[in-house]
Structure 1
Amino acid sequence: MAPAIPAHAANPGERFRSIVDVHTILIRDDGRILLLERGPGRYGAGLLHLPSGHLEPGEPLHLGAARETVEETGVVIDPADLEIAALVHHRQDPSHTRVGAFFACRRWRGEPYNREPDKCTGLVWADPVALPQATIDYPAAGIRAWTAGEGYAAHGW
């Protein structure tokens, strides 16, 4: 007898696909982390998120995280300075899922600034243990997994 198909499997004959995101947790010497305020007309407008973005085709996770961080904040990261912090499997809705690789980074070159003013309205240094209430749930799940020393979080399932 064939095993039962889990109730959450939408199309059992198709391969599961998910968007892959990369997130960078920039950590200052005082322990605070950098969050970006999302601009008008964007997902999570007015809320806080980490420097992040979609992985590009053929791009390794750590290089994608370094690329997204420089694109959004202007700081240059040696990919060797990125440490995997957490992996989050996020379900935004039944047909939209993401796998987020969260990297911690304590060393970079340059001072963070808003390099994408059309997408971001400001930068905030925050306590990772007491995140601002306006932090989007998905990146907050990755930050919480990292601060708790957990390597993985399922969010929204």
Structure 2
Amino acid sequence: MEEAHSDDGTAVPIQIFAGRWTGDPATLPLTEGVMLHWFRPDVMPRLRMSPSTLALIRRHAELHSAARCADASPAASTGAVRGVGTVLNVVGVHLYVENVDGEVLLGLRHPDSAYAGSTWHFLAGHCEQESAVSCLVREAHEEAGLVIDPGTVELAHVVHLVHGAGGRPRMQMVFRARRWAGTPEIREPDKCTGWDWWHPDALPAPLVPYTRAAIEGIRAGRRYTEVGWS
């Protein structure tokens, strides 16, 4: 139970319900409102909404995540990883580009990031209602101001990742862009605090482990790596 306060200070009780649904909001027949869409909690600070609503969503998202971790039994966790029932993989896209010196572009994630705060990582994002290459092109422009021609993009490596028993499987696709336009700039400071070029023999620390695994795989000519599976 939460409370919202009007301009005159009146407190109004609000009851919050948590549920799970994987449908398409675009197919819903709306009786009020103009649009529904899925948003990840980490992108919500960039949306136009009241600070109190954002704080409420963040608070309940954290509580819901903690509750799921606390309630996960060993049997249930094993079932999720081994495929008992249907477990959908999250699809991530990652940009691999090299400069003329053979250095790789990496970004330092914001300290408050939900994942890997203050850690170096590829420019990356999650696929929404779009192809993987379209997602890569969009994220490169939104996050760093880079313009990438889809025709110059090729799949360089795939990391099939799971973070511990019961974790949500993730298919991390790393695409190499042979050509691009623009200089990397900080366009989403809530996600990334800096871009820099690093030689593969002298990668920064801390570095997201599967980022290192992907770079090593690309240098070795491998196309696929598994991380976290036993």
Tell me whether the two structures share a fold, i.e. TM-score over 0.5. yes
Aligned amino acid, residue 137 of structure 2: A
Structure 2 Cα separation of the partners of residues 12 and 100 of structure 1: 19
Partner of 2:135: helix, strand, or coil?
helix
Partner of 2:170: helix, strand, or coil?
strand
Does residue 109 of structure 1 match 2:189?
A: no
Aligned amino acid, residue 104 of structure 1: R
Give structure 1 stretches of 5+ with no counterpart.
1-7
Question: Which position in structure 2 is the counterpart of 1:93?
Answer: 164
Does residue 151 of structure 1 match 2:223?
A: yes
1:9 CA drift (Å): 4.2
Task: Say which one has the larger Rg.
Answer: 2
Question: Which position in structure 2 is the counterpart of 1:5?
Answer: none
Cα deviation per residue 1:41-95 (whole Å; 9 max; x = unaligned)?
Answer: 11111110011010012x1111111111111110100011111100110111222
Structure 2 Cα separation of the partners of residues 119 and 9 of structure 1: 33
1:146 CA drift (Å): 1.0
1:12 CA drift (Å): 4.7
Higher mean displacement: 104-113 or 45-54: 104-113
Q: Percent identity?
A: 38
Cα distance change, pair 110–89 in 1 and its aligned pair in 2 (3 A):
same
Partner of 1:29: helix, strand, or coil?
coil
Cα deviation per residue 1:124-153 (whole Å; 9 max; x = unaligned)?
Answer: 210124322311112222111111110000
Structure 2 Cα separation of the partners of residues 77 and 41 of structure 1: 28
Higher mean displacement: 130-139 or 29-38: 130-139
Count of aligned pairs between the two proteins: 150
TM-score with structure 1 setting the length:
0.88
Structure 1 Cα separation of the partners of residues 195 and 163 of structure 2: 25
Give structure 2 stretches of 5+ with no counterpart.
1-77
1:29 CA drift (Å): 1.2
Structure 2 Cα separation of the partners of residues 25 and 63 of structure 1: 15
Query: CA-atom RMSD, angstroms?
Result: 1.7
Structure 2 Cα separation of the partners of residues 87 and 120 of structure 1: 23
Partner of 2:162: helix, strand, or coil?
strand
Cα distance change, pair 31–93 in 1 and its aligned pair in 2 (3 A):
same
Partner of 2:138: helix, strand, or coil?
helix
Structure 1 Cα separation of the partners of residues 192 and 94 of structure 2: 15
| Structure of higher RCO (CA pairs closer than 8 Å, 6+ residues apart) | 1
Question: Which position in structure 2 is the counterpart of 1:133?
Answer: 205
